[in-house]
Chains A and B, each alone.
Chain A
Amino acid sequence: DAMVIQNPRYQVTQFGKPVTLSCSQTLNHNVMYWYQQKSSQAPKLLFHYYDKDFNNEADTPDNFQSRRPNTSFCFLDIRSPGLGDTAMYLCATSRDPGQGNYGYTFGSGTRLTVV
């Protein structure tokens, strides 16, 4: 059974039209991450939540925002998508770092195409 679920699996949006991607988890993990992965590249961390604490990477564009209303859900909002935002967006979770490092659990990703 999937433990990190991303919806939708595929999303096409128009240039400049706001879009929201969602992620839910059944693992009760403290930390949730959003990564952007462009074609044939390694995933790039956009931001993460440690419980309710939001941590933005220094080079994440302001166009990208996130919300975590509760432990189970986390959303990625792209306010005005550009063509360069076409990518796979990956959500991941991990346990509290103080409990040891068990690696991440990734969702299947949302492939976003901006046209």
Chain B
Amino acid sequence: GDSVTQMEGPVTLSEEAFLTINCTYTATGYPSLFWYVQYPGEGLQLLLKATKADDKGSNKGFEATYRKETTSFHLEKGSVQVSDSAVYFCALSADNAGNMLTFGGGTRLMVKP
């Protein structure tokens, strides 16, 4: 079945450091890929998405590129801020499953001043 694997956290960085959170997936067909962010005590917010191979999703300085050849969708940001501290979830929606999402386990990011 479909699955998403994320790097385990927590990831601890200093402010202005470069961020990469790895995400790989297993799915049949051509899934859509998403990154969601969850701030403490809040629900999930859609951060960015990509719906086909080589698409790049971007938002708030975060980027992720849909790499079909490596089945990956790694999240990157060039310079993190303390306010980026949150849990990040990679997710996919298989093209034969309507809008049903499969989530990865989440990666906690902690940014220190």
Chain A interface residues (CB < 8 Å from chain B):
4, 6, 31, 40-43, 45, 48, 50, 90, 92, 94-95, 97, 101-109, 111
Contacts and interface: CB of A to CB of B under 8 A. Distances in A.
B43 interface: yes
**Range of interface residues on B (Cβ < 8 Å):** 20 to 34
Interface stretch (B17-25, B60-68, B78-86, B103-111): B103-111
Given A43-B44, A106-B43, A108-B42, A97 B103 contact: no
Contacts of A95: 99
Contact of A42 (B51, B93, B105): B105
A104 B42 contact: no
A107 B42 CA distance: 8
20 contacts: A6-B43, A41-B106, A42-B89, A42-B103, A42-B104, A42-B106, A43-B44, A50-B98, A90-B44, A97-B98, A97-B99, A101-B32, A103-B101, A104-B99, A104-B101, A105-B46, A106-B36, A106-B45, A109-B42, A109-B43
Given A101-B51, A101-B93, A103-B99, 19 more contacts: A31-B98, A31-B99, A40-B106, A41-B106, A42-B103, A42-B105, A43-B44, A43-B103, A45-B100, A90-B43, A94-B99, A97-B98, A103-B32, A104-B44, A106-B36, A106-B43, A107-B43, A108-B43, A109-B43
